[in-house]
A and B are shown apart, each in its own frame.
Chain A
Amino acid sequence: MTSDPVNVDMVPDGATPDARPVAGESVLEIRDLHVTFKTEDGPVFAVRGIDLDVAAGEVLGIVGESGSGKSVTMLAVLGLLPKTATVTGSAKFRGEELLGRKPKDLQRIRGAHIAMIFQDPLTALNPVHKVGKQITEAIRAHRSDMNENEAEVRAIELLDLVGIPRPEVRVRQYPHEFSGGMRQRAMIAMMIANDPDVLIADEPTTALDVTIQAQILELLKSIQERTNTAVVFITHDLGVIARVADRVQVMYAGRVAENASVDDTFHRSRHPYTGGLLASLPSLAGPGQRLKPIVGSPPSMLFPPSGCAFHPRCPLAEEICSGEQPPLRQIDRPKHVTACYFAEKLAKEVDA
């Protein structure tokens, strides 16, 4: 990280391991995560056994529709779920277990080592505090050695780094004085303030216009490449995934459907849900043919379907699919796992 002039002096206090992770080192490792919410209608099985790995320097894209459990997974890891949620399984940050930790321990890790950026910067920023104040707070939460003035200097540096013009003026303004794109830049400034090892970006550009989205994606990518940060990028937009991700984890009904390199995901998918999503998209290149929707709707997580949760909507489904849940298994491609009994059959169709 010597290449980053802004961050050379940033070693947050209480850092777990001293050194920054090297590229390729696994920084976040989730195993068999389950999250269940207690509701008036009964338990909602939001996450039902998720594994997830992300390494330093890697962008992991997580794709899924509403209710697939993609956001809940990350909130569970950070201990940000409400009390109605029951979380089991394991989530390790650089070998250190996060689940079941005291709130105080998690606070030390959140922001300093794992930072999260949300979809809507207007609700994520506090409207009654100046933007600069919110950034300095984020800095000083993990840097007790910095005084308010030093933190403000750093905040101005960060606003400049994320491309906000006249940062020395902007730092004293309120969120409502910022445009949507500027607010998301300010959020990113706050998020990288402590030079985290893992960035979790939950639909960070969904609320933004497409030309602003392009700016923000570019900014996130340049930060990630320079700092070697591991990024978990959650989105429902497959175009965004194609632009930013190295690996893709496709989620459906609280489980992992498929995990593969971005190229395999788009060209050699071995799960009918992934293939169905891709086939349903209209093309920017022409009116083309009639669109091919996936039949049915995503299931209610109050009553997830038996076996493979996708079987009621799947064109390949046979009896076995509604019986036992297909395990996530390695297929003929390196680092490509899928939870489908008919992956090999699909291989013949897709690659043919």
Chain B
Amino acid sequence: MTSVDRASSVPVPASPNGEGPTLEVRDLVKHFPVRGGGGKIVVQAVSNVSFDLSRGKTLGLVGESGSGKSTVGRCVLRLIEPTSGTVRFEGEDLLALPNREMRRYRKRMQIVFQDPYASLDPRMNVAAIIGEPMKIHGIEGDRNQKVRDLLALVGLNPEHGNRYPHEFSGGQRQRVGIARAIALEPTLLVLDEPVSALDVSIQAGVVNLLEDLQDRLNLTYLIIAHDLSVIRHISDEIAVMYLGKIVEHGPAEMVYEHPQHPYTQALLSAVPVPEPNLERARSRIMLQGDVPSPVSPPSGCRFRTRCWKAQDKCAQEEPLLIDRGAGHPVACHFAEESPVALGPMRTER
């Protein structure tokens, strides 16, 4: 992406040792006050979430609605202010920065939203949309040329900058959103459900684009998605969230092939696989009931109310997210490989 190369107008300190993770999240907590609760009732959206993310790598956050995965993504960018915890980006403690200073870092951390219809201003042409971040951050130089380069980079016609969002299909619009996100040459992209609003035949192209851009620009991705196949495809590491906590975290292959937490096992076994023979042969772990309210999560292990392994200990003692012999951390007192054969999940086509 040499064409978008330029000297930063404001110097940003590099990571102190150059080797540290791009993103370091520790004990992140976000409580949302409940309206009418007098400030006493809170939704515990995120509870003590910690993880590291290295440059050029992808961490996939998976979990169902209410698990807190999107809130984590937004807290990392300080789009919402965390209640407590630390977020270090390239060595800098973001939560300690005053807003004015934060802006320097915003350039280097961008977000791609789910809905390519709602996230683009319909009254701006795409050149203006893609150029806007550069304008805001006072980037000098031939902005029009940069916009053309960016359009080409995301696989759109560079001459289409004067067109408006409604003239593009959903997949093309998402490419515009991605071009805008990389316009400032960020190191970190938060991808919040980047393909879930797109038609099936379009998703693959956008996933490929994200992978290409990562390779070419050495981007670091924090991807949030509910489609477990997309997440598996794109992620190096997976963190599984349930009711505001990470319950299992490890290399994608470990988490998918050897899940240790009962919730991860249930989640993976519930995903319908596009292969009828396999669907007929597979065993599924059926969870009973719904996710409890994050206003008053269960004591101890938050999954215990739906867990078939739960015992007294699970209500009394919160299981820590530690390696219990599987080689990656799991927050379950009774972590073990599932006795239910989840696989083979491999499709033969």
Contact = CB atoms under 8 A, between A and B. Distances in A.
Interface of A: 65-66, 165, 179-182, 209-215, 217-218, 236-243, 262-263, 266-267, 276-288, 290-294, 297-298, 313
B199 A283 contact: no
A179 B232 contact: no
B226 A242 contact: no
B200 A218 contact: no
Interface stretch (B108-116, B146-154, B275-283): B275-283
Interface in B153-188: 169-172
B349 A278 contact: yes
Contact of B205 (A179, A182, A210, A293): A293
B270 A281 contact: no
Nearest to A295: B205
Interface string B251-271: 011001000000000111111
A285 B230 contact: no
Given A238-B200, A293-B204, A282 B346 contact: no
Nearest to A163: B288
Given A242-B272, A286-B232, 14 more contacts: A215-B286, A243-B276, A262-B276, A266-B349, A277-B201, A278-B274, A280-B204, A283-B347, A284-B232, A285-B232, A285-B345, A290-B211, A297-B171, A297-B172
Contacts of B253: 286
A168 to B, nearest CB: 18
Contacts of A290: 208, 211
A287 B207 CA distance: 12
A290 B208 CA distance: 7
A218 B282 CA distance: 14
B229 interface: yes
A213 B275 contact: no
Nearest to B287: A211
A60 to B, nearest CB: 14
A286 B346 contact: yes
B208 A291 contact: yes
Contacts of B277: 263
Closest 9 CB pairs of A and B: A239-B272, A293-B204, A293-B205, A282-B233, A209-B64, A291-B204, A297-B169, A214-B270, A294-B201
B270 A280 contact: no
A243 B272 contact: yes
Contact of A297 (B202, B256, B278): B202
Interface string B224-264: 00101110111000000000000000001100100000000
A280 B256 contact: no
25 contacts: A209-B226, A210-B64, A211-B64, A211-B270, A212-B290, A239-B274, A240-B272, A242-B273, A242-B274, A242-B276, A242-B278, A266-B275, A266-B276, A281-B200, A282-B204, A282-B230, A283-B233, A283-B345, A284-B271, A286-B232, A287-B233, A293-B204, A293-B208, A294-B201, A297-B169
A277 B200 contact: yes
A237 B228 CA distance: 13
A23 to B, nearest CB: 20
A180 B256 CA distance: 27
B28 to A, nearest CB: 23
B338 interface: no
A125 B192 CA distance: 29
Contacts of A279: 349
User: Which of A210, A242, A278 has the most chain B CB atoms closer than 10 A to its own CB?
Assistant: A210
Contacts of B170: 297
User: Which of A276, A291, A298 has the most chain B CB atoms closer than 10 A to its own CB?
Assistant: A291
Interface in B194-229: 199-205, 207-208, 211, 226, 228-229
Interface in B287-303: 287, 289-291
B324 interface: no
A267 B275 CA distance: 8
A282 B273 contact: no
Contacts of B272: 213-214, 217, 237, 239-240, 242-243
B26 interface: no
A313 B205 CA distance: 13
